[in-house]
Amino acid sequence: MIQNFADWLVYDIFGLSPATAWGTAVNFFFYDSIKIIILLFFISILMGIINAYFPIERLRNYLMTHKMYGLQYLLASVFGAITPFCSCSSIPLFIGFVKGGIPLGVTFAFLITSPLVNEVAVAMFLGSFGLKITLIYVLSGILMGVIGGVVLGRMKLHPYLSDWVKQIQANSSAQADSWEKEHTTFLKRLPAIVHDATQIVRGVLVYILIGIGIGAFMHGFVPEGFFQEYLSKDNWLAVPLSVILAVPMYANAAGIVPVIEVFVAKGIPVGTAIAFMMGVVGLSLPEATLLKKVMTWRLIGIFFGTVAFFIILSGYLFNYIL
């Protein structure tokens, strides 16, 4: 329905052509903006209900005081793999986890894996590359989330969250304590939950629109074949170069798989192509723009640098074993 509305608005009302760069970019902007704003609103309501009725504080304390031997990172990473979100769509859930007080390393495990692996991309990978490469891709995406979450969790990065996030954490905890003491009914809690969700949407709306605007521009105006010239050279710099070139791009895993298939068909090594794909879906400028509302630039730099390192390492490993 959202895509049909975006098509009607851009192509019928605005009169832009889907065959033009402007038509493609504007359509992408309206579709993704509406989708992510709706998603953010309802996920914020869902997380508000969870905060109100489920012991998020106890879960946080449990995760921090019990030895789970990395299981919490694996669970978060697997949850990220089974949720059909792109990098920008994953951020509402990331905000919900942080708001609920879940350890930051665990939330990063989710944020790393969620855009990299989803069921649509897996199905397309099976059809394009076969079972072996698909299994390696899925397992490496989950493993990257686990290891990345552990590494980032050990860095004690909570002080680098934005003041906005710290404030909603404090408000959420105080509100939950008040409701628990008063045994407030759901109908009485609902207006406050909806109000909080609306405030979260208002707080990140500008960042959403700027981030998607960057992605829409890249989506519509970067010419086909632009990156192939640089990625097709089989040299030891191809993998890190592919990740660097991928950062300005913005697409979900399902949208980039056909491009990767073309890359491989034109002789680009599989590992280099997959590293490019992971860079596109997991390290985008729009994602960085949205994360700015949640993190300081220092934390964004640490997050992007850590994930980029693991993607480059995976690309070299894929080229070696495939």
136-150 pLDDT, tens digit per residue, is 888 998 999 999 999
Separation CA 243–CA 283 (nearest Å): 8
Asked whether the beta carbons of 143 and 310 are under 8 A apart, the reply is no
Q: Which spans in the chain are helix H?
A: 2-7, 21-53, 56-65, 71-82, 87-99, 104-116, 119-129, 131-154, 163-182, 186-221, 228-231, 238-246, 253-265, 270-282, 285-291, 297-321
Quick one: which of 94, 109, 171, 190 has its CA closest to 142?
A: 109
**Percent residues over pLDDT 90 in the chain:** 11
Separation CA 71–CA 69 (nearest Å): 6
Grouping H, G, I as helix, E, B as strand and the rest as coil, residue 293 is coil
Q: Would you place residue 13 in the very low, low, confident or very high pLDDT band (cuts 50, 70, 90)?
A: very high
Q: What's the whole-number mean pLDDT along residues 52-75?
A: 64
Quick one: which of 286, 290, 292, 289 has its CA closest to 162?
A: 292
113-130 pLDDT, tens digit per residue, is 887 886 666 766 776 788
For residue 188, the model assigns a pLDDT of 76
Q: Would you place residue 254 in the very low, low, confident or very high pLDDT band (cuts 50, 70, 90)?
A: low
Can you give the pTM of this predicted structure? 0.65
